[in-house]
């Protein structure tokens, strides 16, 4: 009994130690499934670092988008809705701030969060979790798994308009002073330019620089649009070729089905003809059998008549 008690104590101790080692391992969270907190700007700057990871970020809801790349990402218009999010500290009353959003957050249409998404208003603070599935075109394409609303909208449209109105205008640089020097002989000295004219000239120079910057941005956008158009044209060619091949395959299948149906009908006709021939052969063989039986009966009758005629011959000879 003492041995059994000692053995039971040792076994119980081993079970306790094993549970103490295994349970923490089982309770440990998978690093690929644990949301990694990130900043939206960091995510946009280096999306390739987060591909395959579950991430979590805070921001302000912007709105629904219409950005798709079905041949390069797993997101298609039929299955997903796409929306954009601003960083929490984005200055949305400025042009740069409004453009500083993340427009590639995708939520399945059959997800339970779809009502939450459709009920969101602009500038609502949210916490978004999801998995980065692609970094196509240097953007993080995220499949959203959760959306948590963190409060009421931070701004109203009236507040945004007021902030835009009160935003400071670009500082104007003072005009370049006229160089010192004596005017040519016989020419009157020009009157000094008013301060208003100098301010307007500075403003014109500032606008010219802004226009040049805009033109550069427009040129970049045109190049991007042309690149996307070329990609779209190539994809259309591939799609047209694939569709043509599919139609040819469908036509070949239909032709094969018609051929099979024709062969089937021919086989049925041949089977009927064979059946008719078999019936005719059975009829002919039956007639032959009947004729054979009759012939045998005739032969038997002839044999009987011959047998009856043979004994009469000797009696006739005696009479003679």
* The pairing of beta strand 102-108 with beta strand 80-87: antiparallel
Q: Are 147 and 116 in contact (CB under 8 A)?
A: yes
Determine the topology of domain 36-159 in CATH: OB fold (Dihydrolipoamide Acetyltransferase, E2P) (2.40.50)
The confidence band for 244, taking pLDDT boundaries of 50, 70 and 90, is: confident
Q: For all residues of the chain together, what is the average pLDDT?
A: 81
The predicted structure's pLDDT at residue 26: 43
- Segment 67-75 shows an average pLDDT of 92
Q: Are 57 and 40 in contact (CB under 8 A)?
A: yes
Could you give the CA distance from residue 104 to residue 136 in angstroms, rounded to a whole number?
11
The predicted structure's pLDDT at residue 25: 42
Q: Are 103 and 137 in contact (CB under 8 A)?
A: no
Extents of the domains making up the chain: 36-159, 214-268
- Residue for token digits 């099979």? 260
Range from 89-98, 99-108, 175-184, 300-309 carrying the lowest mean pLDDT: 175-184
- pLDDT 10s digits, 266-276: 889 888 888 88
- pLDDT 10s digits, 32-62: 568 999 999 999 999 999 999 999 999 999 9
- pLDDT 10s digits, 127-148: 999 999 999 999 999 999 999 9
Q: Which of 101, 104, 116 is nearest to 146 (CA)?
A: 116
Q: Six-digit token pair at 98?
A: 């409004």
Could you give the CA distance from residue 254 to residue 262 in angstroms, rounded to a whole number?
12
CA dist list (Å): 166 to 89, 90, 100:
18, 17, 21
Q: Which of 110, 105, 30, 112 is nearest to 73 (CA)?
A: 105
pTM for the model: 0.47
When comparing pLDDT for 319 and 224, which is higher?
224
Identify the three-state secondary structure at position 253: helix
Q: % helix / strand / coil in the chain, to the nearest 5?
A: 55, 15, 30
| HSE value, Cβ hemisphere, 13 Å, CA-based, for 102 | 30
């Amino acid at each position: 009994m003492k041995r059994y008690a000692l053995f039971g104590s040792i076994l119980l101790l081993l079970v306790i130690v094993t549970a103490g080692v295994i349970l923490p391992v089982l309770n440990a969270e998978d690093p690929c499934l644990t949301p990694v907190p990130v900043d939206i700007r960091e995510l946009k700057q280096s999306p390739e670092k987060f591909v395959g990871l579950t991430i979590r970020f805070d921001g302000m809801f912007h709105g629904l988008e219409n950005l798709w790349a079905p041949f390069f990402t797993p997101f298609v218009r039929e299955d997903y809705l796409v929306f954009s999010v601003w960083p929490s500290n984005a200055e949305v009353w400025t042009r740069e701030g409004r453009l500083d959003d993340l427009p590639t957050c995708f939520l399945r249409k059959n997800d339970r969060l779809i009502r939450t998404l459709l009920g969101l208003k602009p500038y609502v603070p949210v916490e978004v979790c999801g998995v980065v599935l692609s970094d196509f075109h240097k953007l993080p394409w995220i499949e959203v798994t959760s959306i948590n609303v963190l409060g009421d909208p931070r701004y109203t449209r009236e507040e945004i308009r007021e902030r835009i109105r009160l935003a400071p205008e670009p500082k104007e640089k003072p005009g370049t002073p006229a160089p010192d020097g004596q005017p040519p002989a016989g020419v009157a000295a020009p009157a000094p330019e008013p301060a208003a004219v100098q301010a307007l000239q500075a403003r014109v120079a500032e606008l010219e620089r802004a226009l040049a910057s805009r033109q550069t941005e427009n040129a970049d956008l045109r190049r991007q649009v042309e690149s996307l158009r070329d990609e779209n044209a190539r994809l259309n060619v591939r799609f047209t070729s694939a569709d043509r091949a599919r139609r040819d395959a469908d036509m070949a299948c239909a032709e094969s089905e018609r051929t099979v149906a024709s062969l089937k009908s021919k086989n049925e006709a041949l089977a009927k003809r064979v059946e008719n021939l078999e019936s005719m052969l059975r009829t002919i063989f039956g007639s032959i059998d009947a004729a054979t039986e009759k012939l045998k009966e005739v032969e038997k009758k002839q044999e009987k008549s011959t047998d009856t005629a043979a004994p009469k011959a000797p009696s006739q000879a005696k009479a003679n």
